[in-house]
Amino acid sequence: MAKSIERLTDRQVKNAKKNLNDGGNLWLLLRRNTKVWAFRYTLNGKARKAGLGSYPTISLAEARDTAVQYRKWLKSGIDPLDEVRRIEAESKRVIPTFTSAAARFILTNRHQWKNRKHAKQWVATLRTYAKPVMGDKLVTEVTTEDVQKILSPIWNSKTETAKRVQGRIERVMDWATAMKFRAGDNPARWKGNLDMIYPAPNKVKRTNNAGTEKHHSAMPYTDVPNFYSEL
C-alpha cells in the first residue's frame, strides 16, 4: 500500500521544482523563488489553507509537527486558522496590574456615575488602601490574602470605608474576569468568601466613619483624564 502520509524526503523538498504533497494535508508550495509550507483542508464544505512558514526556515520535520496539531484540531471540529488567530491574540493580550485595571474600569463606567466626586472617591479609596498592597500586582496574581491585608486593619475601625473598598476591589476584579484577563473565583468576593472572615458591616459597632456618597449631575467626559492619572 502506498504511503499516505510523510511521503517526502528532505532531498525531495530541497530539490523541489513543483508543488509537493507530503500527505495528511501538508503541502510544499512553490512561490517564485520561495518554497512555503501550507496546510490545506476542507471544513464545512469550504476549502481553506493555513500557511506554516517558508522552507528552509521551517524544516520538513517542523512542518510535520505543526500538521499533526492541525489535524488534531480538525478532528475535534476546530478550524486551525481560527485557533491560531485566537492563540496569537491571546499571546498579545497584556495582563494589566490592579492599578491599571482599576483605572480602566473607572473610565469604562464613568457614564454610570452622576458626578466627578463619585469617581474621585473611587480613586481615593483604591489609591489609599488597595494600591500600596497590590497596585503593582497583575490581576492574575491578586489573592484573597492580599484583600485581607487591606481590609483587616480597617474592618472594625472604619467599617463603612472597608466595605466600600471591598466592593470596589470586587468590581474591578469582576471587570478583569469579564475582559478575560483572568479566570477563576474573585478573590474579593464577599458572599461565600470574605463573609466567612469578617462580620457583616451591620454587626460591627458604628464608629466615626466616612460619610455617605452623594450623587449629582452627570460627570463631564473632559474630567475623565484628570482622575485617571490620579490613580
Q: What is the pLDDT of residues 60-100, one digit of tens each?
A: 999 999 999 999 999 999 999 999 988 887 777 789 999 99
CA distance 40 to 62: 16
Confidence of residue 153 (pLDDT cuts 50, 70, 90): very high
Is this model's pTM higher than 0.75 or not? no
d(CA 164, CA 176): 18
The one-letter amino acid at 151: L
CA–CA dist 39, 68 (Å, integer) = 10
Would you call 199 helix, strand, or coil by DSSP?
Answer: coil
- Kindly state the helix (H) or strand (E) to which residue 69 belongs, with its residue range: helix 60-75
Domains along the chain with CATH numbers: 10-92 (3.30.160.390), 98-230 (1.10.150.130)
User: Of the candidates 93, 165, 178, which has an alpha carbon nearest to the alpha carbon of residue 134?
Assistant: 165
User: Looking up cell 532531498, which residue turns up?
Assistant: 11
